[in-house]
Amino acid sequence: KAGVTQTPRYLIKTRGQQVTLSCSPISGHRSVSWYQQTPGQGLQFLFEYFSETQRNKGNFPGRFSGRQFSNSRSEMNVSTLELGDSALYLCASSRETGSNYGYTFGSGTRLTVV
Amino acid sequence: QKEVEQNSGPLSVPEGAIASLNCTYSDRGSQSFFWYRQYSGKSPELIMFIYSNGDKEDGRFTAQLNKASQYVSLLIRDSQPSDSATYLCAVKSQGGSEKLVFGKGTKLTVNP
């Protein structure tokens, strides 16, 4: 059974550019969430999607956005990149919203903004 | 602000010992509790979840939950060098959201 797939694994971008990250959840998982992980702040929730609808959003500026497609694949976009956006971006999927079974994380996308 | 606090560590134990990792949370409405293990350079991996007061055992791992004290812990028995990793406590609140609030993790080193 394939796990959560994130692409690309690594990205280097310049300040002011925008970036799109992709996440394919485990087959049958309809809930996809995104997290940002930095050494200083740890894992911070970005947003959650279920059945193409954003159900919850974390405390990030509007430059961070996302969407989910009908096949449950999700993308997140960061516009006008800042140096502080350098982080590991993790996608996670779960069977259904409201479950107690926790997430399965993908391998992440390491974004470096220079 | 709903918070999850963990001892930052690092925690160092000898091989074969019991490692005890602790976590407190501020939101009394929290419903489910998770422990993730993260090896350096890797993504978090779910090792246990618990949502009822008491203990839950899975192999060498035991999760303990005390909702009255807003406290959850993870015990690792017969610690192995391969257990050396950062352990993340995560809490989910009531409602249908899948949002997890994570602690900043405790780095565990098991010395051979």
Average pLDDT over residues A19-48: 94
Suggest the residue from B5, B27, B39, B43 to mutate for an interface test with chain A (most A CBs closer than 10 A).
B43
Closest Cα in chain B, distance from residue A18 (Å): 24
pLDDT at residue B39, rounded to an integer: 96
Give chain B's residues under pLDDT 70: 1-2, 94-98
Confidence tier at A64 by pLDDT (50, 70, 90): very high
Region label for A42, one of left (φ > 0), alpha (ψ between -120 and 50) or beta (otherwise) = left
> Residues, chain B, total?
112
Q: What percent of chain A has pLDDT over 90?
A: 79
C-beta of residue A106 within 8 angstroms of C-beta of residue A5? yes
Could you report how far apart the first and last alpha carbons of chain A are, in Å? Answer: 37
C-beta of residue B109 within 8 angstroms of C-beta of residue B12? yes
pLDDT at residue B51, rounded to an integer: 87
pLDDT at residue A102, rounded to an integer: 75
Is 60 exceeded by the pLDDT of residue A98? no
Contacts of B49 in chain A (CB under 8 A): 100-102
Cβ contact B98–A100 (<8 Å)? no
Q: Which of B43, B101, B105 has its CB closest to that of A105?
A: B43
Is 70 exceeded by the pLDDT of residue A100? no
Chain A residue with Cα closest to B90: A102
Confidence tier at A14 by pLDDT (50, 70, 90): very high
pLDDT at residue A2, rounded to an integer: 78
Contacts of A43 in chain B (CB under 8 A): 44, 88, 90, 102
pLDDT at residue A1, rounded to an integer: 64
User: What does the block give as tokens for A29?
Assistant: 């998982």
Q: Chain B contact for A31, CB < 8 A?
A: yes
